[in-house]
Structure 1
Amino acid sequence: MTARLWHRAGRAALVLLVLVVLGALWEAYKSWGPADGVQLFGTRVLPRTTDAAMPHLSSIWHAFGSAEVGGAITFGPTRTVFDSVLDAAGNTLQWAAAGFVLGVVVGMLLALLMDRLVVAERALMPYVVLSQTVPLIALAPLVTKWGQGSKLGPLTWQPWMSVSVIAAYLAFFPVAVGMARGLKSPSVVHAEYFRCAAAGWWSTLLRLKLPSSVPFLVPALRLAAAGAVVGTIVAEISTGLDGGIGRLIITYSQQATGDPSRVYAAVIGAAVLGLFVAAAVSLFDLALFPYRREDAR
């Protein structure tokens, strides 16, 4: 366990180093790059270096502490950009978490069904893969219209539920594929041993297949968490749901002040949110460390 903690600490240090290098490259290009960007065969491949397109990192940093201004939403007199980004990220996190849980449940159920019935795997797997080719921008308005006025027993459909469903749409795919692969990962020797011991499907699932699927499931959960955040942000923009980080990015881009630093501040908040959910899944990975098998990696 200690070696694993040192390994994760090294990875965290590497991430910080990459961020520092990217920041240095940003400032270098901002200082010495052409004002109109770099063009190749008439197509701009690198952005403009003007303050409207690429503000200095220091400007983005100071934007977090600047006071909010009026616009599409109303802010308090002492509210800062950091407060708005933090609140918006919290709302997005809640909606993404709901979509993540729903997507994980659906993905696991599909994986169990495909493992139990070979015909189900042959019938469902192509559609599971095909589902990810549908663009979210086209899907989000449809889900919103389907949900309007619907009721789940005493529960009335809320606008945020459409956003969570779209997040689940991205989250279920890696879980279904990863767990389906993990359930088939036990070696032939172990599978034959359980078969010779007359173990039923349920006992084999709990004692052999589920522990063997952990090395495949954890990376799938990490991708699902990141996908849920991305799906939530895209759905906020597409459906017009206020209060999240996606709508905050649009709000800042449309404000009369025209300060691009605020837009970048909201984008950084979205990126940090993605890193946060990935780190949360990593903690779950530590809890499942005893179930990892070296031969299944």
Structure 2
Amino acid sequence: MRRRRSPRVALTRIGIGALGILAIAAIWELYKAFGPADGVVIGDSRILPRTSDLAMPHIVDMVSRLFEPVTRADGSPPLWLEVSGAAAVTLGIAAVGWVVGLIVGVALALVMVRSRLAESSLLPWIVLSQTVPLIAFAPVVRSWGSKIEIGAFEWQDWMSVAVIASYLAFFPVAIGALRGLQSPDAIHTELMRSYAAGWWATLVKLRFPASVPYLLPALRLAAANAVVGAIVAEVSTGLRGGIGRMIVQYAGQASGDPAKSWGPIFGAIVLGLVAAGSVALIGGTLGNYRRAEVNS
């Protein structure tokens, strides 16, 4: 049986993560304090940014700006509340894309495990699919989607964003599930055959439990990819209400309020952490499934 991780291990990991954040903040402030005003330039390329308040606001200014109103208008909500609402919209779309990517990825893995010919035919195309630039692909998906009409069903713009999110999410799931389903040793598959177990029984009792260690990292990577895909697609398609559009909108206001433009960037970071944390909760359930199947 697998040993459960102690609370001390979890606290250690949290502490290391917190120290990493503090280290990044310290490096930021040290470079701002001692770095060249015009940044680090090599030839005609600037590899490190300028240290002015416009290019690099202080960490404390960026954090305090989150609790100030978005605009000077009366009744304007605080920036963190506006960012949270936009992040929730993007998270919902990314979740839809993640679920679709999970279904497509596992289905492709099952087809490839079932047939060696299918694996040799599909796997190169699955890998090649990730070379398509999203900036060019997202408007095409939106254009195609806008032409879909099935009865009373009407394609919504957010669906195009979800499709792009699923496009990035399915790849790690397909590869991770394929490697996991193929991971059982030949002696184990032969044992299942000696019990007269069919392909489906072998899949449920042997291959799926064995694939959990490969599938969990793939699901986490798929969640991160879905968030990135949703944000990029929002920028490319111009979908309003999400964190991607907010990043572009606030970046245009950076000259007058540089700290404000970092608000949605922080929101995107938290969004990725929430997505990964949600998958970690699902991972606990899959871990129990693996132990139950292995020990049965």
TM-score in same-fold range (> 0.5)? yes
Give the superposition deviation at 1:285: 1.3
Call closer, same or farther: CA 1:140–1:3 in 2, change over 3 Å: same
1:167-178 paired onto structure 2 within 5 Å:
167-178=165-176
CA distance in structure 1 between the partners assigned to 2:283 and 2:93 by the alignment: 22
TM-score under structure 1 length normalisation: 0.93
1:76-91 paired onto structure 2 within 5 Å:
77-91=75-89
1:1-297 paired onto structure 2 within 5 Å:
2-69=4-71, 77-152=75-150, 154-255=152-253, 258-292=256-290
Secondary structure class of the residue paired with 1:3: coil
CA distance in structure 2 between the partners assigned to 1:194 and 1:154 by the alignment: 49
CA distance in structure 2 between the partners assigned to 1:113 and 1:124 by the alignment: 9
1:244 maps to amino acid: G
Call closer, same or farther: CA 1:184–1:5 in 2, change over 3 Å: farther
Secondary structure class of the residue paired with 2:66: helix
Secondary structure class of the residue paired with 1:39: strand
Give the superposition deviation at 1:256: 7.8
Call closer, same or farther: CA 1:2–1:113 in 2, change over 3 Å: closer
Post-superposition Cα deviations, 1:32-90, rounded to whole Å, max 9, x if no partner, equal 111111123442211111111100001101111121228xxxx8723121111000000
Sequence identity (%)? 50
Post-superposition Cα deviations, 1:195-225, rounded to whole Å, max 9, x if no partner, equal 1222100000000000000000000000000
1:17 maps to amino acid: L
Q: Which moved more, 1:116-125 or 1:278-287?
A: 278-287
Asked whether the 8 Å contact 1:212–1:291 carries over to 2, the reply is no
Post-superposition Cα deviations, 1:82-130, rounded to whole Å, max 9, x if no partner, equal 1110000000001000100001000010000101111110100000000
Secondary structure class of the residue paired with 1:44: strand
1:186 maps to amino acid: P
1:62 maps to amino acid: S
Give the superposition deviation at 1:257: 6.2
Gaps spanning 5+ residues in structure 2: where? none
Post-superposition Cα deviations, 1:136-159, rounded to whole Å, max 9, x if no partner, equal 001000000000031355421100
Call closer, same or farther: CA 1:151–1:4 in 2, change over 3 Å: farther
CA distance in structure 2 between the partners assigned to 1:96 and 1:199 by the alignment: 38
Call closer, same or farther: CA 1:153–1:107 in 2, change over 3 Å: farther
Asked whether the 8 Å contact 1:67–1:80 carries over to 2, the reply is yes
* Cα RMSD (Å): 1.8
Asked whether the 8 Å contact 1:179–1:217 carries over to 2, the reply is yes
Call closer, same or farther: CA 1:178–1:187 in 2, change over 3 Å: same
1:235 maps to amino acid: A
Secondary structure class of the residue paired with 2:239: coil
CA distance in structure 1 between the partners assigned to 2:31 and 2:166 by the alignment: 38
1:160 maps to amino acid: W
Asked whether the 8 Å contact 2:99–2:166 carries over to 1, the reply is yes
Gaps spanning 5+ residues in structure 1: where? none
Asked whether the 8 Å contact 2:54–2:254 carries over to 1, the reply is no
TM-score under structure 2 length normalisation: 0.93
CA distance in structure 2 between the partners assigned to 1:170 and 1:197 by the alignment: 40
Call closer, same or farther: CA 1:282–1:5 in 2, change over 3 Å: farther
Asked whether the 8 Å contact 1:27–1:57 carries over to 2, the reply is yes
Question: What is the count of residue pairs matched by the alignment?
Answer: 290
CA distance in structure 2 between the partners assigned to 1:153 and 1:268 by the alignment: 41
CA distance in structure 2 between the partners assigned to 1:123 and 1:28 by the alignment: 52
